[in-house]
Amino acid sequence: MTFSKVIIGPALAVMASVLATGAQAADEPLAATGRWSAYTAGRAATPPMGWSSWNAFATDIDEDKILGAARALVRDGLAAKGYRYVNIDDGWALQRRVRDGALIIRPGRFPITQRPGGDASFRPLTDQLHGMGLKAGIYSDLGRNTCSQAYSSDDTDLPRGSVPEREIGLYGHIDQDIALFFATWGFDFIKVDGCGLRAYGADAAKVRSGQYRALPPILNMDFVNRSDIPAVQALFGQINAALVRENPDGDYLLSLCIWGAADVRSWGKNVGNISRTSDDINPTWGRMLTNFDSAAKRAFYAHPGSWNDPDMLFIGKGDFDTEHLTEARSHMSMWAMINAPLMIGMDLRQAPKPLLDVFGNAQVIALDQDAGGHQAVVAFDSDDVQIFVKTLAGGEKAVAIFNRTAAALNVDLTAAQMKFRDDADVNLVDLWNGGTRRLRKGSTFRIAGHQTLLFRATGKRVLTDGLYLSEQPGNVNPAVDGVAEPTPDPMIHRSATGWQGTRGSGEGPIYAGWGGVQADRAPYGEALAINGVRFDTGVGVLANSRLEVRNQGYRRFRAIVGVNDSARDTRRAATFAVYGDGKLLASRRAMTWGDAGQEITADVTGVRIIELVTRSDGAGGVPLPTTWAEAALLRR
């Protein structure tokens, strides 16, 4: 297919010329590069699993608690099922020695680390964990000081000494500390918080009192435009360089914990293995919904190597204890469906069997750890109930019917929602009770309050010779998603059980992800439609975007393109182009709102990276939603 140049003003004429020749400026973000730019360093081909100290103990940690959790993982069979990381969170450091910047471990809490005549070292502890077949994780902060130093009302477990001695964060010590943690102490995982970049401004109470030095905030939780995003990215870039240098075998994990601030939604996937999408979770149903929502509709922003992180599992307390096994199973089910890291947060030393059975459900774990790496996509959406569908590496589907409310509901599940044909049987296996069910076209399920029905499904595909792109989000990376002005997402559930409880005026939206790339929906959650024709499947993306697609042996790309009917600007035009390994393969003329959708196809035989580029004339103004409807990779 050749490009047909249509003149709709000078800007589009230039754009058409560029597309026609395939020439791209090397420094232009929409220029096809022929490479996959999402993060693949470290060891996160599947989401990491393990245990972390924070939810159970906060800063009140010691050697017995850490090693007790490790022994429990092995004793109860969880390690054998994949829970391998044992992560020490905030509270381990006594101080930083001023003369040489060395970090000092709290000696009374970690006697295993003490060495006669030398500095304490975590190496004996990490060696012990490694000897048990486990991995070891450590904690730090991007700033001079940590989260607990900023927000704890009790200094019992906080670092001691002078103001400089209590500066145990990475700021000014990135290379030194990463070398210490990984090369010297033998850790395999680091969680990096961002409180040090936001909580120590000159007006902070603990700074004014003289407890800590001021560090001008460059990270803002409330307003994305008040974060210095390049500066935050640069710090993570320095961490990445140090990790590569100190881990020549590549055996490490980097966890970004800046809670969805600084537009990390768009770039976290490029710099770390897991990226927190929300503020901290707590053991209440409403807070679980908040954290889940921050990641649930960002399927294209997670891939093998880099995963969305809605925070740890809080199973074991509050609304997820042994008296609330329905809620515990829902929590586990939905984390598995969206490929979240499975990090246990409870004290495992005396964990009751019903909760161990939740953590240890091998069928549910397998969904989270599926080699395909495709986060589940929303097939039905409402405030009350949602249906999520995930494509598995073996060709089956995983399906979750998630009742967000406390009331029992009747819910219809259809073959079409799973992209199966409705004239053939669909077989469902319940992953919590082992029961089976067969449906044709559809079936109605009675679902209890807060319950999640979780199935593995097989059937005849609607698309017999390939996969829609919305079925394989792990192979699609929004290198540029067209979001020029990051906007907090108003659709994320806001609970009343955040850090402040019901003091103040309530929590506003934090996660600046509204308008990003969507599966089977247009940006902002609206329907996929071009000139009145609605589509059940496709990729919705704002104009001036570039999507990288990994091609796994397919021969043909096909889609129907156009400006989505939800566009408010009905005059601007968009062009669509398909590149293969950096070369122009196909393109479509400039199209405006109200134009009929146009088919675009390309031969992608032998192509490794396909790039889908949408351009629009004009700068600024209202974002222009565009559609790659029915976008698919086909075998023939």
Indicate if the pLDDT at residue 160 is higher than 70.
Answer: yes
Residues 6+ apart with CB under 8 A from 83: 49, 50, 51, 73, 342, 344, 359
* Kind and range of the H or E run holding 548: strand 545-550
Contact 339, 302 (CB under 8 A): yes
Q: What is the pLDDT of residue 505?
A: 82
pLDDT for the residue 257: 97
Q: Indicate whether this model's pTM tops 0.85.
A: yes
| Catalytic residue, candidates 280, 381, 430, 581 | 280
Q: What is the predicted pLDDT for the residue at 15? A: 31
Query: Rounded to an integer, what distance in angstroms lies between the CA atom of residue 428 and that of residue 413?
Result: 11
pLDDT digits (tens, 9 = 90+) for 296-321: 999 999 999 999 999 999 999 999 99
Name the catalytic one among 193, 368, 370, 617: 193
With contact defined as beta carbons under 8 Å apart, do 246 and 495 qualify?
A: no
What span, in angstroms and rounded, lies between the C-alpha atoms of 394 and 371?
Answer: 9
> Does the active-site annotation cover 193?
yes
Residue 115 burial by Cβ neighbours in a 10 Å radius (0-12, 13-18, 19+):
exposed
Q: How far is CA 265 from CA 47, 278, 296, 299, in A?
A: 17, 10, 12, 11
**CB–CB of 83/365 below 8 Å?**
no
Helix (H) or strand (E) holding 409: strand 409-414
Nearest-angstrom CA–CA distance, 401 and 385: 7
- 3-state percent breakdown (helix, strand, coil) of the chain, nearest 5: 25, 25, 50
DSSP state at residue 490: T
Q: What is the Cα–Cα distance from 142 to 159, expressed in whole angstroms?
A: 16
Write down the pLDDT at residue 27.
65
> Mean pLDDT, to the nearest integer, of 523-532?
96
Average confidence score pLDDT of the chain: 93
* Beta-carbon contacts of residue 538 (< 8 Å; ≥ 6 apart): 468, 469, 470, 520, 528, 559, 560, 627, 628, 629, 630, 631
Which structure tokens are listed for 24? 């791209």
370 is catalytic: no
pLDDT confidence bin for 364, thresholds 50/70/90: very high
Q: Give the model's confidence band at 155: pLDDT under 50 very low, under 70 low, under 90 confident, else very high.
A: very high
Gap between the Cα atoms of 184 and 192, Å rounded:
18
| pLDDT at position 8 over 70 | no
pLDDT greater than 80 at residue 498: no
Over 80: is that where the pLDDT of 500 sits? no
